[in-house]
Amino acid sequence: MQAIGLHAVDWFIILFYFAFIIGMGFYLKRYTKSEEDFFLAGRRNSAWVAALAFLSANMGALELLGMTGNTYKYGMYIAHFYWIGAIPAMLFLGIYMMPFYYSSRIKSVPGYLKLRFDEKTRVLNGISFAIMTLLVSGINLYAMALVLHTFLGWNWDVSMWASAITVAAYVTLSGLMSAIFTEIIQFFLIWFGLFLVSVLGIVEIGSVGEIMHRVPEAFSKLWSTSGSSAANGMMVTWGGIVLGLGFVLSFGYWTTDFLVVQRAFSAKNLRSARMTPIIASFFKVAVPFIVVVAGLIALVLAKDSNSGFALMRDGGKLNYDSALPMLIARYFPRGLIGLGITALLAGFMAGQAGNISAFNTVWTYDIYQSVINKKASPKHLLWMGRMATIVGIVFSVATAYWAKSMPTIMDYMQAIFSWVNAPLFATMLLGMFVKWITPNGAFWGLISGMGSSFALYLAVKFEWIQAGLLTLSKGPASDMAVNFWRAWWAWLICFTVTIVVSLFTKKRPEAELVGLVKGLTPKTVGEHIPWFKQPAFFAVLALIVLVLLNVYFW
């Protein structure tokens, strides 16, 4: 099946992109001479380069197909993922957490856990993160193969392996440097290749106001319909949004997920590392003008019987993820269709590359060197990183077939984050700001949080308990609402167990925690720059923009 007719110029653009990316992998290999070059891009990136890579590492399958399709399904509530569900956490990372991360010269987030707590906590998080990364990596491979299969007419298995081999080639050659390079290219491709969809849709319908007028009220508001789960399409209350998404899932992802934090680690100095997520936050604020607006345009057109627009159906079921590609087919002329498809593929490839580069770092340093071969030389670690990339890609293909069997990409992704990132955020928060938290407290708290989260997932999935027990509501609850609340309970369980166990177990001497805990870390003396160039100033500006947007779309 081929829903989008491609011409020779479209094929040329797509094939040129694949060839260019692999060629850049070979070119960058000459600059990848050490393990730090491979895993951290040599720590020489500017704040702007690191920021674009930081944002682009997150703009994969979930951001493009998933969020556009789910806007069609849920409406404006998807903007919560970008605003309250991202901006505060990104600013917190830059202002408060990055000094601990960057100054300790760690190579991964589990590396911080080793310094702050002990080896067993580091290995536990390393293993859980590696598994999570492969699951998320499979989502990106599945989405990329879905585009090739559904919209270019390629065989499913060929699509899957073509995607996997391409990513494996350029990440294996030069590691994080290749990933960051492709992420920056992908950033511009997305904005130039996909923003036009929203612009042309607004022109056809008339205005943003007309779009909002033609969708149900539950689909055009952010907060005013959150008092009752029955009043909005996502079937979630403000409590689930604030506690589950805005606090736990958001902070758990943006401040502890090594996939994105690794990009800030590649910055050339501490100020650049702190500015990385702050600069990225301004672009993150604007992303809904691509995906959310496009999703609402698709909804308006689909409800208009005279528009001739409809989403694809698979086995009689509406394919929400087809919203963005079908808009591309509607609006883009010959040549631009190739650019639009290339922008989608670039997003998936960059997301996949980000996951694999994070996986090979955590596997090499936090599992292999920590447990299996403690005396490995830098040259051997570089070799192991490349081997881990290939193995990770193979496992990602397997998890991609699992992702294919899931109802929606977005619900699956948030479920994964609630298993790992939610409890980890409790551990990191206590570790950085409370000096008497003990290694045993952190270890058992993390196990309790991850175990309870997965147990609650199974309990609701197999209907051992009612979803209302998690959401504290007698009304209806969507899978996404359950994800939000499950993340909150996992965080709370980990937070509580960590404190209780710490009260009865041996604490580490304060001398060993200098530079790792607030209050025991000397204030970093940076460059003498005026207040309007300080990271905190830009963070305040981002918060003002965030508040204004939420008030406007209230």
pLDDT (tens digit per residue) in 319-346? 777 788 788 878 887 777 777 777 777 7
Determine the Cα angle at 108 with ends 137 and 283, to 5°.
Answer: 65
Least confident of 4-8, 90-94, 408-412, 514-518: 4-8
**What is the secondary structure of 401-444 as a DSSP string?**
HHHHTSS-HHHHHHHHHHHHHHHHHHHHHHHHH-TT--HHHHHH
Residue 521: the pLDDT is: 66
Average pLDDT over residues 213-223: 84
Task: Kindly state the average pLDDT of the residues 528-549.
Answer: 86
At 132-156, the pLDDT tens digits run 888 887 877 777 777 777 666 777 7
Place of tokens 């502890």: 256
Strands (E), 226-353: 313-314, 317-318
pTM (two decimals): 0.80
Neighbour count for residue 315 (Cβ, 10 Å): 5
**Confidence band (pLDDT; 50, 70, 90) for 311?**
confident
Mean pLDDT (whole number) for 463-470: 82
pLDDT at 269 > cutoff 50:
yes
- Summarize pLDDT for 500-510 with one digit per residue, the tens: 999 999 999 98
For residue 436, is pLDDT > 80?
yes
Beta strands in 140-247 (DSSP E): none
| pLDDT greater at residue 191 or residue 300 | 300
Q: Where are the beta strands (DSSP E) in 51-174?
A: none
CB atoms < 10 A from the CB of 415, how many? Answer: 21
CA angle 270, 417, 275 (to 5 degrees): 20
Q: What's the rounded mean pLDDT across residues 376-386?
A: 79
- As a whole number, the mean pLDDT across the chain is 79
Burial of 227 by CB count in 10 Å (0-12 exposed, 13-18 middle, 19+ buried)?
exposed
Handedness of CA 38, 39, 44, 48 (dihedral sign): positive
Per-domain residue ranges of the chain:
8-20+42-409
Residue-wise pLDDT tens digits, 165-189: 776 666 665 555 555 666 666 667 7
What does CATH list as the number for 8-20+42-409?
Answer: 1.20.1730.10
For 32-88, how does the pLDDT look when each residue is reduced to its tens digit (9 = 90+)?
Answer: 555 454 444 445 567 777 777 777 767 665 677 778 888 888 888 888 988 998 899
194-216: average pLDDT: 86
Check residues 311 and 490 and name the one with the higher pLDDT: 490
Question: Could you tell me the maximum CA-CA distance found in the chain, to the nearest angstrom?
Answer: 72
